[in-house]
Structure 1
C-alpha cells in the first residue's frame, strides 16, 4: 500500500476512533514514519517490529522526550492494527529518559495579580473562562468545550463531559461566579437562538449529529463560549458554530502573567495545578480532591501536595555565631 493510500485510509478510520487532536498528532508521526521507511535504515530493518524499534530508538538518540516517544509508539500501533491490519509483537526500542520536573504552581497572590490584568475581548469572556479553569480545576480543552446544558445552577453542579480518558465528572460551581455564569449563559443563549432560527447547526461531539440530528438545534447543546462566526468543521467541512480556541485563552493568560510580573511560565493548565494544590493545602481529603480532578490514581493527586521537605529547617541555623 502506498503512502498516499495509507494516509487516506488513516483519515477515514481515525475520525471514527480518536479525538481530533489525537488524529492530528497520530497523522504527524505516521507521516514521519512513512518517510523513515524509505531511508536506508528503514529498508535494512526486517519485519514491522524491527522497523518500529529502529525508528523509536532513533528518537531516543535524537533526545526526544519520553512523552513524544510514547505518542509516536501509540500512533504506529494504530497504523499497524487499524490501517494495515497487522498485529505487532514485542518492540524493544531504546527508551527516551523520563525526566522528573517540578510543576509550576502559581500562588493565590500570583493568580489574583494575573486576574487583575486579564481583559475580556468583544467576542469572548476571557476572565470567566480563566476563573472556571481555576475555580473548578478544568483542563483548558474542557473549559473551551463547555456547553450550556453542562451547568445545573439549581444544584450548583458543573458536569465535564469526555474529559481526559473519555471520562465524565462533576464539580461544584462556586457561588461567587454565579452572576457571571448567568450573564454568559444568557449571551450564549441569544446567539444560539439566532443560529436555530437560521437553521445553523452547532458542532456536536463524535457522530452525534448523525445519530440525533435535532440536537444540533437545541439551545442546551450550544457552547458557553461560542466562536463569533460559523466555520467549516475540520473533518467533515460542514459549516457549524464552533467554540473558543485554546490558543485564545493561552495567549491571554501569558500576556496577563507577564503584565503581573510573574517569573514562572504560566499556562492555563497551571490554574488546574493551583486548584489541586490549594485544596490539598487547605486540608481537604485527597480522595475527594482526586475525584474532583478526575485522576485515576491517587498518587497523581498526591503529587500536587505541598512538599513536606520545605518545612525542614536548615542545619546552618544551628551553627554557633560569633558575637559582634
Structure 2
C-alpha cells in the first residue's frame, strides 16, 4: 500500500490533536488517507487534484462502503487538500479550532442524524436511507466544507450538472441524486420552497429501458443449475413475481398453503399485497417449511433469542421473536451474535449470497443474456402478458402504483395486433 509522506502525516496528526480528535478516530482518518494515496497510485490519479477525490468516492460507492465511511474518507482527503493549499509546516492555532468549534449553525452531523429520523418516521427502508445518505455525503464532499445552512440552489445545480457532464452518470442515477437532495431540502433543511432545480441544470438523457426477459426453457435451465435453497428462491421470484428483498423478507406467517396464497408485507413503497402460490411449488414448500422448523427447534436448544424483528413489532409483541410464525422463510445459515446484548439471533439469507448463486448458475448455463435476480420478476410479468392476462391484473400482482410502470412489459413480448380488416365474428378462426 502506498504510504503517506512523513511530513504530511505529521502535520495531519498535529491538526487532529489540536482539534481534540480521539486516538481511535485519528487512526481511522489516517487509514482513509492511505487508501486515497493507494487508490491514486493504482489508477494513475494525481493525489493533489480534487478530481481524484470524486473518483475515489465513486470507487467507495462501488465497493458498497457505508455513507458514514464515505463521509469520513471525504473529510480526511479534504484536510489533506487544505494542508496543500496552506503549505502547512505548523498546525493551525488553537484559537482557529476554538472558533470553528463555536460555530452555532447546522452541522453535517446533525443533518445525517435528522435524515435518519426522517427516513424512520416515514417508514422507508434501510436501503433508501443508505442511498440517500450516500448521495448527501457525496454532495457534502462536493461542497468542500460548506456548512448545510449556507447551501444555495447554485450548489445543487452545480453538483447535478457535474454528475451529468463530468461523472457522465446515467439519467436514472442522476434522478436518484436529485431525489436525495429534494428529500434533504424538504424534510431535513425544511427549505422545500427554495428547491427549484429544474432550471439551469444539465440533465443526463434517460434512455428507454427494455428489461431482459428469459424464455420458459431458459428459466428452467437456470433453476436446474441452482442448489437448494437458491433454486426454491428462484422459483418464488419467477412464480410469484417477487423482488429479491421481498422474497428474503418473507416469514412463516406470510404463507397460506391451504388457500395457496402468499402475502407480501412492506413491499416497495411499504405496500402489502397478495399473490397466488404456484400449485406446482406446494409440495416443495411444505418440505422446505419442515426443514426450517427443524432448524428452529435446534435453535431453541442453543440459547436462541429469536429472529430479528422490526423495532415496532418487538416493542409491541416482546415474545414474537421466538414464535415460529415470525421466523424467516429463508433463514441465514448461521446465528448472529448481537454485540450490545450478547443475544444469538437469526437473520434471513443475505441478498449477495442469492445474487452470487444466480450469477454462477447463469454462467454454467452459458446463456447469452445478462441475468440477475430481478430478471425473474421481469420474466414473470412478460409471460403473463404473453398469456393474455389483463394488464391491470399484472399491475396488482407486481404491486405497481401506476399501470404505466407495468406497460413497459409490452415491449418484451411479440405484438399480437391483427392489422387486417376483419369482422369480430371471424376472430375465432384466426390463429392467435
TM bracket (short chain): 0.7 to 0.9
Give the counterpart of 1:245 among 350, 370, 383: 350
Aligned length: 305
Please, which runs of 5 or more residues in structure 1 have no aligned partner?
A: 313-324
Give the counterpart of 2:367 among 240, 257, 262: 262
SS of the counterpart of 1:251? helix
Contact 1:196 1:218 in 2 (8 A): no
In structure 2, relative to structure 1, the CA distance for the partners of 1:73 and 1:236 (3 Å cut) is farther
User: Residue 283 of structure 2 aligns with which residue?
Assistant: 179
Q: Does 1:31 align with 2:137?
A: yes
Q: Provide the rounded CA distance (Å) in 2 between the counterparts of 1:206 and 1:144.
A: 18
Q: Provide the rounded CA distance (Å) in 2 between the counterparts of 1:237 and 1:144.
A: 25
- Which runs of structure 2 are paired with 1:108-257 in the superposition (5 Å)? 108-120=216-228, 125-196=229-300, 198-231=303-336, 240-257=345-362
> Which consecutive aligned stretches of 4+ in structure 1 deviate over 4 angstroms post-superposition?
232-239, 309-312
SS of the counterpart of 1:204? coil
Please state how far the C-alpha of 1:267 moved relative to its aligned partner.
0.7
Structure of higher RCO (CA pairs closer than 8 Å, 6+ residues apart): 1
SS of the counterpart of 1:170? strand
Please state how far the C-alpha of 1:238 moved relative to its aligned partner.
7.1
Q: Provide the rounded CA distance (Å) in 2 between the counterparts of 1:130 and 1:243.
A: 15
Q: Provide the rounded CA distance (Å) in 2 between the counterparts of 1:144 and 1:185.
A: 14
Please, which runs of 5 or more residues in structure 2 have no aligned partner?
A: 1-105, 420-432
User: Residue 65 of structure 2 aligns with which residue?
Assistant: none
Larger Cα Rg: Structure 1 or Structure 2? 2
Give the counterpart of 1:279 among 360, 363, 384: 384
Q: Provide the rounded CA distance (Å) in 2 between the counterparts of 1:307 and 1:236.
A: 57
Contact 1:203 1:233 in 2 (8 A): no
SS of the counterpart of 1:201? strand
Query: Higher mean Cα deviation, 178-187 or 296-305?
Result: 296-305
Q: What CA deviation, in whole Å up to 9, does each residue of 1:75-98 have, x standing for no partner?
A: 223333333333343222332211
In structure 2, relative to structure 1, the CA distance for the partners of 1:257 and 1:58 (3 Å cut) is same
User: Residue 101 of structure 1 aligns with which residue?
Assistant: 209
In structure 2, relative to structure 1, the CA distance for the partners of 1:195 and 1:12 (3 Å cut) is farther
SS of the counterpart of 2:208? coil
- Give me the TM-score of the superposition, normalised by structure 1: 0.85
Q: Provide the rounded CA distance (Å) in 1 between the counterparts of 2:409 and 2:337.
A: 40
Contact 1:146 1:160 in 2 (8 A): yes
State the superposition RMSD in angstroms: 2.8
SS of the counterpart of 1:308? coil
Contact 1:134 1:274 in 2 (8 A): yes
Q: Provide the rounded CA distance (Å) in 2 between the counterparts of 1:95 and 1:207.
A: 40
Contact 1:147 1:224 in 2 (8 A): yes
